[in-house]
Amino acid sequence: MSWTRGPTVGRGSSAAVSVAAAPGSGDVFAVKSAEASRSESLRRERAILAELDCPHVVTYRGWDVTREAGGRRVCNLLMEYAPRGTLADAAAAAGARGGRLGEPAVRWCARGILRGLEYVHGRGVAHCDIKGQNILVTGEGPKIADFGLARRVGGDWAAEGPVGGTPLFMAPEVARGERPGFAADVWSLGCTVIEIATGRPPWADVSDPISAIHRIGFSGESPEIPSFLSEQCRDFLSKCLRRDPSERWSAGELLRHPFLEEVGEEAPEFLSEEAQTKIPDTESPTSVLEQAAIWSSLENSEPCHPLLQRSPPNRPPGERIQQLVGEWSANSIPPPQMPNWEQDESWVTVRSSEENREAPETGPTANANANANEEEEEEEEDQEDQEGLV
């Protein structure tokens, strides 16, 4: 399989997301890439995403292992490309409303996300990181993306790695270190509705990550529900933001809440062609409001994986929290249009490792290296067979 890697549109501590295209067909998709030695999370994401087929979940397009500069082996997760960007971007672009969406648009978005969650939960999966930055905007409706922290509820959590998340969107039980379930996604949905309806993140008065984790987990409080929202919206949020997870409404129950009655299928105004041109070029991911540097750690997420712990073990607690949620640096989100095909220097042709093998070496060292590579590739193939993926 040959494809062309375009500009990078997002970058985390262990993976990067690029726009890509198949040269023959011109088909455009997104590629999330990680070095093979650091691809554990990406492989888990692939295993889950490949089993999902829902209009409100980003579409899995394939998997490819490539040999790139310096002989690096890179794992690539191919996914649907949504040129309109994320829900957080769309809300930030609503400049006339102070960076927030009107309630008709909020209803439309909430219903689409809940449809996706109802489907995902029905297949035993908790997303574990619902927020505006992980919801892609399309004309057909919002789509849940980034399953890098997703877990199978009732599965072997230890085998699936440590739990991460985004502090400002974490449910209280997750902030306390408990296993997240479906109800944790519902709490995060409530926080996302606050985010897009107000133009500010939940817990907007929290000043540092440690305070956020402690307050969410142990204070007994819930995010403030603004009084300017409609009574139906406030009641809807109250059902999402109950601190006891057993008392929160499920995705299916919330879909029947009066707040979501009479929501049309037609895309709201913020998805119109005129509105799309207003989506700003910003660092990705970004908060709905341009906040102080502290929000880069409060609003971003990464799993707390031993391989990512590069700082000394005695670093201050604030730095440990920042390590938990990740520190992102990225190029700008592309505007809602097709990639610029004229800038060829930003596109690199990529071929799968099977098609891009280097010329063989000779001698005992070469044989040893070849055997080691073959064993490594066989282990990966065995793992892929066990996952039931092609």
Same domain for 140 and 33, yes or no, is: no
Same domain for 341 and 320, yes or no, is: no
Same domain for 186 and 97, yes or no, is: yes
Measured in Å, how far apart are the chain's first and last C-alpha atoms?
A: 13
Q: Is 365 within a domain?
A: no
Q: Which residues belong to the active site?
A: 129
Does 32 show up as a binding residue in the annotation? yes
Same domain for 7 and 115, yes or no, is: no
Q: What is the DSSP letter of 346?
A: G
Contact criterion met (CB below 8 Å) for 209 and 294: yes
pLDDT tens-place values along the chain, 390 residues long: 689 999 998 887 789 999 999 988 889 999 999 999 999 999 999 999 999 999 999 999 999 999 988 889 999 999 999 988 999 998 988 755 678 899 999 999 999 999 999 999 999 999 999 999 999 999 889 999 999 999 999 876 655 566 678 899 999 999 999 988 999 999 999 999 999 999 998 998 887 878 889 999 999 999 999 999 999 999 999 999 999 999 999 999 999 999 999 887 766 666 654 444 333 333 333 322 223 333 344 556 654 332 222 334 344 433 433 343 333 223 333 333 443 433 444 445 455 444 343 333 444 444 444 445 544 554 554 455 334 433
Same domain for 68 and 16, yes or no, is: yes
Q: Is 390 within a domain?
A: no
Q: Is 381 within a domain?
A: no
Q: Is 154 within a domain?
A: yes
DSSP alpha helix (H) spans, the chain = 40-49, 87-92, 103-122, 172-175, 182-198, 209-218, 231-240, 251-255, 273-276, 294-298, 317-325, 364-387
In a 3-state reduction of DSSP, which class is residue 6? Answer: strand
Same domain for 316 and 346, yes or no, is: no
Peptide bond into 223 cis (omega under 30): no
Angle at which helix 182-198 crosses helix 103-122, to 10 degrees, equals 160
Distance, CA of 210 to CA of 317 (rounded, Å): 7
Distance, CA of 233 to CA of 255 (rounded, Å): 13
Same domain for 105 and 22, yes or no, is: no
Q: What is the CATH number of the domain that holds 212?
A: 1.10.510.10
What pTM, to 2 d.p., does this model score?
0.74
Same domain for 78 and 110, yes or no, is: no
Same domain for 147 and 286, yes or no, is: yes
Q: Is 362 within a domain?
A: no
Same domain for 216 and 235, yes or no, is: yes
Q: Is 180 within a domain?
A: yes
User: What type of residue is 177?
Assistant: G
Q: Is 383 within a domain?
A: no
Same domain for 292 and 259, yes or no, is: yes
Same domain for 128 and 207, yes or no, is: yes
> In sequence order, which residues have a C-beta less than 8 Å from that of residue 347 and are 6 or more positions away?
4, 5, 6, 21, 341
Q: Beta strands 348-351 and 2-11: pairing type?
A: antiparallel
Q: What is the CATH number of the domain that holds 11?
A: 3.30.200.20
Range of the domain at 70: 2-82+334-356
Contact criterion met (CB below 8 Å) for 17 and 34: no
Contact criterion met (CB below 8 Å) for 210 and 321: yes
